[in-house]
Structure 1
Amino acid sequence: MADGGEGRGPGRSRRRPRLPLPAALLLVALVVAALVAAVRPWSARGWFAPRGPTVLGAIPHWDQEDAVASLRAHPGTVTVASPWSYGVAEDGRPTLQPGLTTESERRLVTQLRELGLRVIPTVASTTDGLWDKTTVPAIMADPTRRRAHVEALARLVQDEGYDGLQLDYEDVPPHRRDDYLTTVRELADQLHDHRHELWVTVHAKETDAGYDQRNVAQDYRAIGESADQVVLMAYDWHWETGPAGPIGPADWVERVIRYAVTQVPRDKLVLGVGLFGYDWGGPRTQVLTWRQISEQAQVRHSDELWDLASQSPHLTYEEGGARHEVWYENARSVREKLRLAATHRLGGVALWRLGREDPAIWDLPEEVWRTTDPP
């Protein structure tokens, strides 16, 4: 091989000394490794990666004590903790959820670090603890406010020593799609400059258009190009203000996964798995934990039923002349979702939420992940 900077006439050709074959192969390997590290400094994750899948456990701000108790009682399964800690003020600053203080969150982080967990808190599109459909879209639409917002989020991660941040911006209107994607890209760039991660939660859908307007704003492919992990919120097929039915039917979850893997690399996809339930039939639908449902079923002598089509448990009872229908997730239904995530070789799962879940789920992961083979 001639030097590119010199002419190559008679007597002027100069060859570099040849490397022995093993040394040449080693050099190639080092160059490839350096290029991979430059593109993405974190190793691939997933059921069949050397370190196994990522398991994120969400910690609700209203039930931190029970969530941490679950982590302490079952060490070694969850690898990432995501305290649901922050909302967004009108000026774009991240603000703590109601009832939290900087001191309380730092104590929580200390506990999580002691358990060997990475800490990636969630910032949601809430104001004063309530979902807010206007504040975050308005911030993202204004370049100056958006820049200040992104810088404030990146600074929060730096100041508090987090490993990254999870963005849970829901119900973004479709005409803010480009603004939303710009926000994700700019935040990812800022976090990556300091080797921090960006996780982005997305509404579940089977096509780019999805089921309603909020799905349009979330371009899976573009989000996956910027984010390190994309969390599919594969629950609420039936929800609090709708009719009764399974929360995360297995056939629907699989359709969501099949679409998502055409848009986002599999190792970046994290399947959101619900651990809660809804009780329909009263004046207002109740959101309940598995423990609450189990305790109430014992008192009311309600038998658990199993819906084969959706792979979901449910039960009914009568109270005050009204018929109640309860659908929820337990270890049996969670097992099916873990199987789907493993079968499709996703990066892992995100459990919403820790605290008062069916304790039998903690006996599942090793069994499921060990026995499930890739397609």
Structure 2
Amino acid sequence: MTQHLTRGDGPRTCTSGALAATAALSQLGSDGWGAHRPELPLVIGAIPHWDRGAALMSMYTHARHIDVVSPWSYSMTADGTVATTAGIAVRADSVLATRVSHRNIRTIPTVTNTTSGEWDRDTVATVLSDPGLRRTHVRSLTELVRAHGFDGVQIDYQNLESADRGCFSTFVGELGAALHRIGRVLYVAVHAEPNDAGCRPHNETTDYATIACCADKVIVMAYDRHRAPRTAGPIAPYDWVEEVVRHAITRIPRDKLVLGVGLHGYDWVGSTAVRLTWTQVMSVAATAKPPMNWDETSRTPHFGYILDGIAHEVWFENARSVEAKTELARRHRLAGIALWRLGGEDPSIWRLGP
């Protein structure tokens, strides 16, 4: 099922009541949080085009913790070229790259296979399977990076099928070689899979080992384990994330493997879920005033509430749950973490180190 990328994820004002709820949920089971810990080797922060202002504010506020920013501003087109999304000008990201470079932060924009805010399998499958269109796409991506001073590019092509596996691997190899020739890097985001069988059909698209040979970093998106149209539950249950990591390190070198960490939540009604930022979760909690719960098995906070006679169930990520995943990345000596996404996150997550 396709999903609007911006669904329920837009800016929302945090009321004074929500600020009060912030303290309660940030401290939910937070024993030991904030202790002095070594920084991770790499922290990547995504900047979504639909909440760019909030994301940039977070990035500048917490710049000392961030190594790479990845503007989510670009998509593939049917002719193999690259277009900006939602009216974001390339110049804005070019200026951003210049500004953050003075803070030793690299800019590696993300390119997606989205059309009108929806994941578009047909377009990317057509482009990657046609050698001519694929060459055009590689050339367009390389030129985007070179012309605007970016440090590389991150590919996030989702909802492909097993039939696209070979073409996708070929594309990654060709793009990696082209970027390396001009001294830039290639990051590739892939779906999480806990074993060779994966957990969904689209996992069969990605050949972890082949992609790792061609890319500089592979970001395993270890979140959205529960999402619509499934039943409510934790976004990134700890045991599942660890299973994903243990499988990934058998295919991807640890110094290339980046753990994707979600910072959001979902408000469920039956099998329907609306994505919320942590700030939006705080607003809901401030209004509903529900009892807060901590699920020790998944290491995830959650609560329920009733609105207009309808039962809601909210599962989300906060400082404690994010710290659990961060520590897992440290323990397995991974290259770092990729935060999806900046803007509206629990501010306490930034107490990751000195």
TM exceeding 0.5: yes
Q: What are the superposed Cα offsets for residues 147-174 of structure 1, whole Å, 9 maximum, x if unpaired?
A: 1111111111111110000000111110
Structure 1 match to 2:353 = 366
The CA distance in 1 between the partners of 2:243 and 2:252, in whole Å, is: 15
Structure 2 match to 1:233 = 221
Q: What are the superposed Cα offsets for residues 237-293 of structure 1, whole Å, 9 maximum, x if unpaired?
A: 001322100000000000000000000100100000000000001795211000110
3-state DSSP class of the match of 2:343?
coil
Q: Per the alignment, do residues 159 and 54 of structure 1 end up closer, same or farther by CA in structure 2, a change over 3 Å counting?
A: same
Match of 1:310 among 273, 298, 305: 298
Identical aligned residues as a percent: 46
Q: What are the superposed Cα offsets for residues 109-149 of structure 1, whole Å, 9 maximum, x if unpaired?
A: 34433443100000011123321111001100111111111
Q: What are the superposed Cα offsets for residues 173-194 of structure 1, whole Å, 9 maximum, x if unpaired?
A: 1011110000000000000001
Q: Is the 8 A contact 2:229 2:271 kept in 1?
A: no
State the Cα distance separating 1:86 from its structure 2 match: 0.4
Structure 2 match to 1:354 = 342
Q: Per the alignment, do residues 265 and 105 of structure 1 end up closer, same or farther by CA in structure 2, a change over 3 Å counting?
A: same
Structure 2 match to 1:207 = 195
Q: Could you tell me which runs of 5 or more consecutive residues in structure 2 were left unpaired when the two chains were aligned.
A: 1-37
- 1:197 correspondence with 2:198: no
Structure 2 match to 1:130 = 118
- 1:243 correspondence with 2:231: yes
Q: Could you tell me which runs of 5 or more consecutive residues in structure 1 were left unpaired when the two chains were aligned.
A: 1-49, 368-375
Structure number with the bigger relative contact order (C-alpha 8 A, sep ≥ 6) is: 2
- 1:343 correspondence with 2:335: no
The CA distance in 1 between the partners of 2:271 and 2:85, in whole Å, is: 27
The residue identity in structure 2 corresponding to 1:366 is G
Structure 1 match to 2:27 = none
TM-score by length of 2: 0.86
The residue identity in structure 2 corresponding to 1:77 is H
The CA distance in 1 between the partners of 2:199 and 2:273, in whole Å, is: 22
TM-score by length of 1: 0.82
Alignment RMSD, CA only?
1.6
The residue identity in structure 2 corresponding to 1:160 is H
The CA distance in 1 between the partners of 2:284 and 2:42, in whole Å, is: 33
Match of 1:289 among 277, 289, 310: 277
The CA distance in 2 between the partners of 1:366 and 1:272, in whole Å, is: 19
Q: Per the alignment, do residues 152 and 125 of structure 1 end up closer, same or farther by CA in structure 2, a change over 3 Å counting?
A: same
3-state DSSP class of the match of 1:294?
helix
State the Cα distance separating 1:51 from its structure 2 match: 8.8
Q: Per the alignment, do residues 56 and 74 of structure 1 end up closer, same or farther by CA in structure 2, a change over 3 Å counting?
A: same
Pairs within 5 Å for 1:93-172: 93-172=81-160
- 1:224 correspondence with 2:206: no
- 1:261 correspondence with 2:264: no
Between structure 1 and structure 2, the one with the greater Rg is 1
Structure 2 match to 1:6 = none
3-state DSSP class of the match of 1:342?
helix
Q: Is the 8 A contact 1:87 1:129 kept in 2?
A: no
Q: What are the superposed Cα offsets for residues 213-250 of structure 1, whole Å, 9 maximum, x if unpaired?
A: 21111010111111100001000100132210000000
3-state DSSP class of the match of 1:262?
coil
Q: Is the 8 A contact 1:157 1:165 kept in 2?
A: yes
The residue identity in structure 2 corresponding to 1:251 is D
State the Cα distance separating 1:348 from its structure 2 match: 0.2
Farther-moved stretch of structure 1 (202-211 vs 344-353): 202-211
The CA distance in 2 between the partners of 1:157 and 1:346, in whole Å, is: 26
The residue identity in structure 2 corresponding to 1:63 is D
Structure 2 match to 1:278 = 266
Structure 2 match to 1:86 = 74
Q: Is the 8 A contact 2:231 2:271 kept in 1?
A: no
3-state DSSP class of the match of 2:63?
coil
The CA distance in 2 between the partners of 1:141 and 1:285, in whole Å, is: 34
The residue identity in structure 1 corresponding to 2:224 is D
Q: Is the 8 A contact 2:40 2:330 kept in 1?
A: no
3-state DSSP class of the match of 1:147?
helix
Match of 1:61 among 29, 46, 49: 49
